[in-house]
Amino acid sequence: MGRESLEMTFLAGGRSLLPSTWEGKEKILTLINVYCPHADPGKPERLAFKMRFYSLLKIRAEALLAAGSHVIILGDLNTAHRPIDHWDAVNLECFEEDPGRKWMDSLLSSLGCQTGSHVGPFIDSYRCFQPKQEGAFTCWSAVSGARHLNYGSRLDYVLGDRTLVIDTFQDSFLLPEVMGSDHCPVGAVLSVSSVPAKECPPLCTRFLPEFAGTQLKIRRFLVRLKDPVFRHSALKLNNKTQVQMHQNKARVRSTRPRPSQAGSSRGQKNLTSYFQPSSSHPQASPNLELPSVGALVTPKTSEKEVMAKVVEGQASASEAKDEKEIRTSFWKSVLGGPLSMPLCRGHREPCVRRTVKKPGPNLGRHFYICARPQGPPTDPSSRCNFFLWSRPS
């Protein structure tokens, strides 16, 4: 293909990719950044909705190609195309017969970047550069911790029209080391440079009815003070605020309790006024009758009496300790505390408790499974198939 200038446009909801240029003739590049619906096996209507979405996406992409634009489709397509793109494909019934995979067969070229006959107008750019790379996944179950053992599938793609991929794509890659979601980013490198578009495309988000007239620029919120209308409004607001402040102060003064006349002074109290003398050292009161001196004098206590008091104190302490132990054992028998986790049979390790969230007769029930992350059945470090219902509380 000769050197030409590419001008990019993008659909509503799509992220912008830097427009690309070559010297010479201009050509539009349309980027469709999309999230395709997920099909729930328990809800047949979701599969029908997903296939309608797929059909419209293909119609739109092929119409753009027919109009002379290059097209890139990227995002979460929610389908693993080939068995190499799914870790457990061999155990999935009728893997190749899935409607979503058949749709991708009709959309993609089956021969990668090689010349020759092909089925669809688009190319899976990652498989173009890495046709036999195994374990190349972009999505893992966050609940089962499957990412630790790379037990996932490839649901995220960068698809380009055949001419664009062959002539301009230099690389396509996955970034599984980037955390933050149950998916990882994907990307591609094109040998082009950017040129700005002359105007926003007709399908830009700002032109959609639900967004038209609502998106404002930041300068709309900044008004110059020299504007007479703004100065008048600001002056009225300032006067109203000052009046309100004076009213609030007057209300506070009227509700504030007055200090007592005896022994008090206006102003802030000292910090020491908030501290009271200790109860163990009571202050002398004028009305307190002091005992006589003779009552305070005690005769000398004999050694036998002292030893008797010591023995009596030790017996009291022992009785109190025994009573405390009895109370503790009683409450332990009543409140048994949390049950210990059962051990899985595969690793003899404590399990984790999960709750059934799927609608049905077991909704809300608790069960125990192996605590290790989900992985290939052949990997001994992955989760074993232990399962145990929790007893009713």
Burial of 6 (0-12, 13-18, 19+ CB in 10 A): buried
User: Known binder of ligand: residue 182?
Assistant: yes
Helices 44-66 and 99-107, packing angle to 10 deg: 0
Where b means 16+ CB within 10 Å and e means fewer, 338-376 reads eeeeeebeebeeebeeeeeeeeeeeeeeeebbbbbbbbe
Q: Collect contacts of 107-115 with beta carbons under 8 A, ≥24 apart.
A: 107/58, 107/61, 107/159, 108/81, 108/159, 109/162, 113/165, 113/166
Please choose, from the candidates 52, 13, 50, 18, the residue with its C-alpha nearest in 3D space to the C-alpha of residue 34: 13
Q: Which residues contact 46 (CB under 8 A, 6 or more apart)?
A: 37, 38, 39, 40
User: Known binder of ligand: residue 76?
Assistant: yes
Place of tokens 């690793």: 347
Residues catalogued as catalytic: 35, 76, 183
Cα torsion 209, 213, 216, 219: sign: positive
Instruction: Give, rounded to a whole angstrom, the gap between the first and last alpha carbons of the chain.
Output: 72
Q: Are 14 and 31 in contact (CB under 8 A)?
A: yes
CA distances from 49 to 62, 108, 169, 254 (A): 20, 21, 33, 68
CA distances from 351 to 94, 148, 338, 370, 388 (A): 33, 18, 14, 5, 10
Half-sphere exposure of 235 (CA within 13 A, CB side): 8
Neighbour count for residue 167 (Cβ, 10 Å): 16
Binding site residue list: 76, 78, 182-183
Binding site residue list for Mg(2+): 76, 78, 182-183
